[in-house]
């Protein structure tokens, strides 16, 4: 089976690696020839946003999937008529725009921070009056904290105004003082079966994910609620593949932040830490294979490598450390790789994480 992945970053690279033992050939379509996936998968160099490029790429694979968002939906709809696109367009569409996403959540009764769409200065001022301190975000295309401005008072407004020309406009979200961030990831198979992983607790800095560690610091009831929200989304979207939902925990309540219709950074721990990794699971789902068991194996945590590459030998000297480098040039704020640390119990894991912290840049 040949799976065509739109995008060839680290997610494409890890999908390709997961495909090898299953006899699934992963190919990627990506603009830059030296993208992370190029080292492990045949890479077609081209713009996934170009309908002709897309059609030619789709003709060479059995099923199409994606590791990036913001893809051209009309061109994809055409291609999907002959090559199945999994997850399908409803998932991609909803996740492409923060306002649509919030409306989807609302329609399913999934709570979220109070959010208003903003398209001009007047709307921005009105939203700030209505919401108080808020986070202004571009509706489309933002990631890793880019395209976001916190507005706590008048002085912050000019920076938010600068975001106004963004295609698709903006949203203003109530700025939450959350107790924790968690995510829930799961997959839905072609037959409608759903498998969800234990939730990790996530720590972000400057809008970028730093660590993910299951189980999330929430009562079982709250974790079950998050899993129910994810399952509702999977079903409502007729989603096939992995779906990630990021949530805030505020006073024991969950508020949905955003979703990603693809494998997700907060699921990287599943490579060594779960019976079935998110990458294998995604490939199983989109090729119509049965889903694998999502249970965790022992204690596990994932630490992102941001901006500066670590000394590999020092990382690997930490017991239980598994190093994943993406083959990217170091640059401030860039995700260069991650380390997953495994252990038989939580106390040993914490000690190993402390040891790892001393050798990271």
Residues contacting ligand AMP: total by CB under 6 A: 14
- Is residue 18 within 8 Å of 39, Cβ to Cβ? no
Question: CB under 8 Å to 220, separation ≥6 — which residues?
Answer: none
Q: Which is nearer to ligand AMP, 62 or 156 (CB)?
A: 156
173 forms part of the interface with ligand AMP (CB under 6 A): yes
Helix (H, G, I), strand (E, B) or coil at 97: coil
How far, in Å, are 29, 98, 291 from residue 288 at the CA level?
A: 22, 30, 9
Q: CB of 284: closest distance to ligand AMP in angstroms?
A: 27
Q: Which DSSP symbol is given to 239?
A: -
223 forms part of the interface with ligand AMP (CB under 6 A): no
Choosing from 16, 40, 118, 135, the residue that interacts with ligand AMP (CB under 6 A) is 135
- Footprint of ligand AMP on residues 296-315 (CB under 6 A)? none
DSSP 263-293: --GGGTTHHHHBSS-HHHHHHHHHTTPPPPP
d(CA 156, CA 109): 32
Binding mask 33-72 for ligand AMP (x = CB under 6 A): ----------------------------------------
d(CA 98, CA 94): 8
Residue matched to tokens 């129910």: 228
175 forms part of the interface with ligand AMP (CB under 6 A): yes
Choosing from 204, 210, 328, 334, the residue that interacts with ligand AMP (CB under 6 A) is 204
Binding mask 87-126 for ligand AMP (x = CB under 6 A): --------------------------x-------------
Choosing from 10, 257, 265, 270, the residue that interacts with ligand AMP (CB under 6 A) is 257
Q: CB of 255: closest distance to ligand AMP in angstroms?
A: 8
Question: CB under 8 Å to 265, separation ≥6 — which residues?
Answer: 209, 212, 304, 335, 338
Integer-rounded Cα radius of gyration of the chain? 20
Q: CB of 252: closest distance to ligand AMP in angstroms?
A: 17
Choosing from 69, 97, 258, 280, the residue that interacts with ligand AMP (CB under 6 A) is 258
Q: State the residues that interact with ligand AMP by CB under 6 A.
A: 113, 135, 142, 145, 173-176, 181, 204, 207, 246, 257-258
């Amino acid at each position: 089976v040949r799976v065509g992945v739109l995008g060839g970053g680290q997610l494409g690279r890890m999908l390709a690696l997961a495909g090898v033992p299953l006899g699934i050939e992963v190919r990627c379509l990506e603009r830059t020839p030296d993208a992370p996936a190029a080292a492990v998968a045949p890479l077609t160099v081209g713009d996934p946003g170009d309908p002709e490029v897309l059609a030619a790429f789709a003709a060479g694979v059995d099923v199409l999937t994606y590791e990036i968002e913001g893809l051209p939906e009309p061109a994809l709809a055409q291609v999907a008529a002959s090559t199945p696109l999994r997850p399908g367009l409803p998932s991609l569409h909803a996740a492409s725009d923060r306002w649509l996403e919030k409306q989807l959540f609302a329609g399913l009764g999934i709570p979220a921070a109070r959010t208003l769409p903003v398209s001009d200065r007047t709307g921005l001022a009105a939203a700030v009056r209505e919401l108080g301190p808020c986070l202004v975000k571009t509706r489309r295309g933002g990631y890793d904290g880019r395209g976001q401005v916190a507005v706590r008072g008048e002085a912050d407004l000019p920076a938010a105004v600068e975001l106004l020309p963004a295609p698709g406009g903006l949203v203003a979200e109530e700025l939450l003082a959350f107790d924790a961030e968690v995510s829930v990831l799961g997959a839905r198979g072609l037959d409608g079966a759903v498998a969800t992983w234990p939730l990790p607790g996530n720590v972000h800095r400057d809008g970028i994910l730093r660590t993910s560690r299951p189980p999330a610091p929430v009562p079982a009831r709250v974790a079950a609620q998050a899993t129910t929200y994810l399952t509702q989304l999977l079903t409502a979207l007729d989603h096939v593949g992995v779906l990630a939902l990021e949530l805030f925990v505020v006073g024991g309540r969950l508020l949905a932040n955003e979703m990603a219709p693809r494998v997700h950074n907060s699921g990287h721990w599943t490579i060594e830490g779960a019976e079935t990794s998110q990458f294998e699971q995604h490939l199983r789902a989109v090729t119509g294979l049965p889903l694998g068991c999502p249970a965790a194996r022992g204690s596990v945590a994932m630490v992102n490598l941001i901006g500066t590459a670590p000394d590999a030998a020092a990382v690997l000297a930490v017991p239980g450390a598994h190093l994943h480098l993406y083959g990217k040039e170091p640059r401030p704020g860039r995700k260069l790789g991650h380390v997953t640390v495994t252990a038989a119990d939580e106390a040993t894991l914490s000690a190993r994480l402390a040891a790892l912290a001393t050798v990271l840049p």
